């Protein structure tokens, strides 16, 4: 088991490093930590993603690089890969979450700033541009604690500890039920363990897409976005699906004219309003997953048109926010049935649905092992990098310590008990999959 304080210290170190507009320092830290604490093959790609690989069992490896052996690849035997996936970028912090602001004596709104440099609320190493990290009430507070450097730290420690004992670690007491051959009943096996921390998740999956285009498509992935307290209090669930987001624009064209002679032109705003009626009446798809109804939605969020109060507008645009579900999309192209109306997609973050029931059950069992309360298979309303991976063919689940409503807030925090729980879940999943692959 990982040292309890080491996991918290690693989380604090990660959170303290600014990574809202430049992820380089955070990536440097993750890369160096993995190189120092594991014997994995660690690399940094051109986008800044950090990816580490090592054997999970007895797959032949190259002794110099720890990569899958050339003989194994030549024999046509491909590794079955389990990946722990996260990201080290964050959204911009509130002023109260930056050391420089706090050190100048500014209150954080809760009366907790005394302006003393070096206390527990300062960033690590006294960095004036670092992020504030506080520990109180059983939680760590600071930008990125929930989304998602806490989960990243738990995954890094699990990656280290599973790999360290890959050859001989037995199942712990109270582990998953095992059949006569020693394998976990219904579990999925893997022989390679990967850790990946992406850049640009908050910008639409920039890092994930770059990695996928370069060939990063693990067989299975546990993405460490939040799944805690979805089904109840003090429980970390396993999300097997989430919504996506498609942002699109409806553009209506018309003919400008003086407003005193409206019939001399074609009013683009009126055409856009017709399109809005189509959008309003468009039925968003709904699917049932894990006993939950995952409901899509379509809504107009912005309208812009016209150039002056006395001119018939010749153009008008409407922004559409669509929350998508696995399998179907709303029929928004129907707006193009209106004369001089066009529809274009600006962003399409894919939804996710776990494509392998056995994998979902394997991590569900590991989650049950790791906590007293009973976790459930649930769904999430938000898009994550799991959508890009699932689109590429990876079987994904989401499991992480963040709770609903914590990410991106001025008081962002993560429960220390949930961090430790996720470490146990990640490690338990990898060990179960290794033992199944090896027939232990």
State the average pLDDT over residues 38-65.
82
Say if CB 374 and CB 408 are below 8 A apart: no
Which residue(s) pair with 236 in the sheet?
228
| Domain layout of the chain by residue ranges | 4-93+131-242+352-438, 244-348
Q: Which of 78-82, 175-179, 415-419 has the lowest mean pLDDT?
A: 175-179
Q: How confident is the prediction for the chain on average, in pLDDT?
A: 87
pLDDT at 3: 64
pLDDT at 435: 75
pLDDT confidence of 240, banded at 50, 70, 90? very high
pLDDT at 427: 96
pLDDT at 208: 98
Question: Strands across the sheet with 341-349, in order?
Answer: 297-305, 315-324, 244-253, 341-349
SS3 141: strand
pLDDT at 113: 41
Task: Report CA torsion sign: 439, 194, 148, 361.
Answer: negative
pLDDT at 204: 94
State the average pLDDT over residues 399-412.
95
Give all strands (DSSP E) within 71-173, no chain letters.
81-87, 134-136, 139-141
- Residue 386's contacts (CB-CB under 8 Å, 6 or more residues apart) are 85, 221, 223, 225, 242, 352, 396, 397, 398
Q: What distance separates the 2 farthest-apart alpha carbons in the chain?
A: 87
Higher pLDDT, 107 or 17: 17
pLDDT confidence of 108, banded at 50, 70, 90? very low
pLDDT at 373: 96
Which residue(s) pair with 298 in the sheet?
322
- Tell me if domain 4-93+131-242+352-438 and domain 244-348 are identical in fold: no
pLDDT confidence of 58, banded at 50, 70, 90? low
pLDDT at 166: 47
Q: What is the CA radius of gyration of the chain?
A: 25
Say if residue 81's pLDDT is above 50: yes
Task: Identify the helix (H) or strand (E) that includes residue 272.
Answer: helix 268-280
For the domain spanning 4-93+131-242+352-438, the CATH number is 3.40.630.10
Q: Which of 168-177, 207-216, 364-373, 417-426 has the lowest mean pLDDT?
A: 168-177
Q: Mind listing the pLDDT tens digit for each residue in 270-302?
A: 999 999 999 999 999 999 999 999 999 999 999
C-alpha to C-alpha distances, 65 to 43, 53, 68, 215, nearest whole angstrom: 11, 10, 9, 18
C-alpha to C-alpha distances, 40 to 16, 33, 70, 158, 428, nearest whole angstrom: 25, 11, 17, 13, 19
Say if residue 354's pLDDT is above 60: yes
Say if residue 243's pLDDT is above 80: yes
DSSP for 294-352, written as a single string: EE-EEEEEEEEE-SSTTEE-SEEEEEEEEEEBTTB---GGGGGGSTTEEEEEEEEEPPE
pLDDT at 111: 39
pLDDT at 100: 79
pLDDT at 59: 54
Q: Which residues of 315-340 are buried (b: 16+ CB within 10 A; e: fewer)?
A: bbbbebebbbbbeebbebeebeebee
Q: Which of 40-54, 83-97, 155-169, 206-220 has the lowest mean pLDDT?
A: 155-169
Q: Mind listing the pLDDT tens digit for each residue in 109-129?
A: 443 443 333 345 555 555 667
Report percent pLDDT > 90 for the chain.
Answer: 78
pLDDT at 186: 54
In the chain, what is the straight-line distance between the N-terminal and C-terminal CA atoms, in Å? 20
pLDDT at 69: 42
Tokens (6 digits) for 258: 């003086």
292, exposed or middle or buried, with CB in 10 Å at 0-12, 13-18, 19+? middle
For the whole model, what pTM was predicted?
A: 0.85
Higher pLDDT, 178 or 438: 438
Architecture of the structural domain at 244-348: 2-Layer Sandwich (3.30)
pLDDT confidence of 84, banded at 50, 70, 90? very high
What is the Cα–Cα distance from 62 to 68, expressed in whole angstroms? 6
Q: Mind listing the pLDDT tens digit for each residue in 305-352?
A: 999 999 999 999 999 999 999 998 999 999 999 999 999 999 999 999
State the average pLDDT over residues 137-162.
97
Say if residue 228's pLDDT is above 50: yes
pLDDT at 56: 87
User: Of 9, 419, 2, whose CA–CA distance to 228 is shortest?
Assistant: 419
SS3 95: helix
Say if residue 67's pLDDT is above 70: no
**What is the length of the chain?**
440
Report percent pLDDT > 70 for the chain.
Answer: 82
């Amino acid at each position: 088991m990982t040292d309890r304080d080491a996991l918290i210290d690693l989380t604090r170190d990660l959170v303290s490093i600014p990574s809202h507009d430049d992820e380089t320092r955070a990536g440097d830290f993750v890369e160096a930590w993995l190189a120092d604490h594991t014997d994995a093959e660690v690399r940094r790609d051109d986008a800044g993603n950090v990816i580490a690989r090592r054997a999970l069992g007895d797959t032949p490896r190259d002794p110099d690089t720890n990569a899958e052996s050339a003989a194994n690849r030549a024999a046509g035997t491909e590794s079955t890969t389990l990946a722990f996936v996260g990201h080290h970028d964050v959204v911009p912090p509130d002023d109260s979450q930056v050391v420089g602001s706090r050190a100048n004596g500014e209150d954080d709104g809760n009366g907790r700033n005394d302006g003393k440099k070096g206390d527990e609320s300062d960033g690590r190493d006294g960095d004036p541009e670092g992020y504030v990290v506080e520990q109180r009430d059983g939680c760590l507070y600071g930008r990125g604690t929930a989304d998602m450097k806490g989960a990243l730290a738990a995954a890094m420690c699990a990656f280290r500890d599973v790999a360290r004992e890959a050859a001989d670690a037995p199942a712990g007491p109270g582990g998953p039920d095992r059949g006569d051959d020693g394998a976990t009943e219904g579990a999925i096996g893997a022989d390679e363990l990967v850790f990946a921390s992406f850049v640009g998740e908050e910008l639409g999956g920039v890092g994930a897409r770059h990695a996928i285009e370069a060939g990063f498509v693990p067989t299975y992935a546990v993405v460490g976005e939040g799944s805690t307290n979805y089904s109840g209090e003090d429980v970390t669930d396993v999300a097997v699906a989430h919504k996506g987001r498609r942002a699109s624009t409806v553009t209506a064209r018309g003919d400008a004219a003086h407003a005193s002679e409206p019939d001399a032109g074609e009013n683009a705003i009126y055409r856009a309003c017709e399109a809005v009626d189509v959008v309003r009446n468009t039925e968003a798809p709904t699917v049932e997953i894990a006993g939950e109804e995952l409901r899509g939605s379509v809504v107009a969020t912005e309208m812009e048109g016209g150039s002056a109060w006395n001119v018939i507008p010749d153009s008008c645009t409407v922004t559409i926010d669509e929350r998508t579900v696995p399998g179907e999309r709303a029929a928004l192209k129907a707006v193009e049935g209106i004369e001089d109306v066009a529809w274009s997609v600006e962003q399409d973050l894919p939804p996710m649905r776990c494509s392998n029931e056995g994998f979902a059950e394997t991590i569900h069992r590991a989650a049950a092992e790791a906590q007293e309360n009973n976790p459930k298979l649930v769904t999430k309303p938000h898009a994550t990098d799991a959508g890009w991976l699932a689109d590429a063919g990876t079987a994904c689940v989401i499991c992480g310590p963040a709770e609903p409503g914590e990410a991106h807030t001025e008081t962002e925090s993560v429960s220390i008990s949930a961090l430790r729980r996720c470490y146990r879940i990640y490690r338990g999943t990898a060990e179960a999959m290794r033992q199944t692959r090896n027939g232990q």
